[in-house]
Structure 1
Amino acid sequence: MNNAEVVNEAIKNRRSIFTGMFSGEKVDNAVIEKMLENANWAPTHKLTEPWRFVVFEGEGLKKLGEFQSELYKARAVGNGNFNEATFDMLAAKPLECSHIIAIGMKRHGVVPEVEEVCSTACAVQNMLLTAAAYGIGCYWSTGGVTFYEEAKPFFGLDEEDKLLGFLFIGMLKSDKWPEGRRKSIEDKVKWVR
Structure 2
Amino acid sequence: MILDIIEKRRAVFPVQYNNNPISEEELNTILQAANWAPTHRRTEPWRFKVFHSDTARKGLSEFLGKMYQEITDPISETKLQKTMDKPLQSGCVMAICMQRDPKESVPEWEEVAATAMAVQNMWLTARSLGIGCYWSSPALKDHIGKHIELPEGEKCLGFFYMGKFDGELPEGVRKSTIAEKTVWV
Tell me the TM-score normalised to structure 1 length: 0.86
Question: Which residue number in structure 2 is paired with residue 97 of structure 1?
Answer: 90
Question: Which residue number in structure 2 is paired with residue 45 of structure 1?
Answer: 40
Structure 1 segment 39-188 matched on structure 2, within 5 A: 39-57=34-52, 58-76=54-72, 80-108=73-101, 109-143=104-138, 145-146=140-141, 148=142, 150-158=143-151, 160-174=153-167, 176-182=168-174, 183-188=176-181
| Contact kept in structure 1, 2:15 and 2:86, CA below 8 Å | no
CA distance in structure 1 between the aligned counterparts of 2:2 and 2:148, rounded to whole angstroms: 32
Quickly say closer, same or farther: Cα 1:155–1:104, change in 2 above 3 A: farther
Deviations along 1:34-63, one digit per CA (max 9) or x if unpaired, are 000110010111111110101112211111
Q: Secondary structure at the match of 2:127?
A: helix
Aligned length: 181
Quickly say closer, same or farther: Cα 1:59–1:40, change in 2 above 3 A: same
In the alignment, structure 1 residue 15 sits paired with structure 2 residue 10: yes
Identity of aligned residues (%): 39
Q: Secondary structure at the match of 1:178?
A: coil
Return the offset for 1:12: 1.6
Q: Secondary structure at the match of 2:163?
A: strand
Return the offset for 1:155: 4.0
CA distance in structure 1 between the aligned counterparts of 2:16 and 2:70, rounded to whole angstroms: 31
- Unpaired runs of 5+ residues, structure 1, are 1-5
Tell me the TM-score normalised to structure 2 length: 0.89
Q: Once superposed, which parts of structure 1, at least 4 consecutive aligned residues long, lie more than 6 Å away?
A: none
| Contact kept in structure 2, 1:139 and 1:169, CA below 8 Å | yes
Return the offset for 1:153: 4.7
CA distance in structure 1 between the aligned counterparts of 2:70 and 2:134, rounded to whole angstroms: 27
Q: Secondary structure at the match of 2:50?
A: strand
CA distance in structure 2 between the aligned counterparts of 1:154 and 1:10, rounded to whole angstroms: 35
Q: Which stretch of the first structure deviates more once superposed, 179-188 or 49-58?
A: 179-188
| Contact kept in structure 2, 1:106 and 1:157, CA below 8 Å | no
Q: Secondary structure at the match of 2:84?
A: helix
CA distance in structure 1 between the aligned counterparts of 2:2 and 2:13, rounded to whole angstroms: 23
Return the offset for 1:132: 0.8
Q: Secondary structure at the match of 2:133?
A: strand
Taking only aligned residues, the RMSD between alpha carbons, in angstroms, comes to 1.7
CA distance in structure 1 between the aligned counterparts of 2:85 and 2:23, rounded to whole angstroms: 22
